[in-house]
Amino acid sequence: MSELKNGFLTAEEVMDILQVKQSKAYQIIRQLNKELSGMGLITVPRRVDANYFKKKLFYEEK
């Protein structure tokens, strides 16, 4: 996963990872940022926290 050094993913990176169009990538980013805001966290417009993205979109066996 091509995370930026600051720990955020852009819409272009979300597009590449999920193989979706730009509008869908922004929709996913907005949804995840809304969830993060609901938890009282600060979000960055048009960027999503890479760790939260991985947690929500990829299943990991424990």
Report the alpha-carbon distance of residue 44 to residue 50 in Å, rounded: 12
Band (pLDDT 50/70/90 cuts) for residue 42 is: very high
According to the model, what pLDDT value does residue 60 have?
65
pTM for the model: 0.84
**Domain tally, the chain:** 1
Distances (CA, A) of 35 to 2, 28, 56, 58: 22, 11, 11, 17
pLDDT value, residue 3: 47
Q: Which residue has the higher pLDDT, 12 or 5?
A: 12
Range of the domain at 41: 8-57
**Does residue 44 lie in a domain region?**
yes
Averaged pLDDT for residues 39-58:
94
In degrees rounded to 5, what are phi and psi of residue 40? 85, 15
In a domain, 62, yes or no: no
Interatomic CA distance for residues 35 and 28, integer angstroms: 11
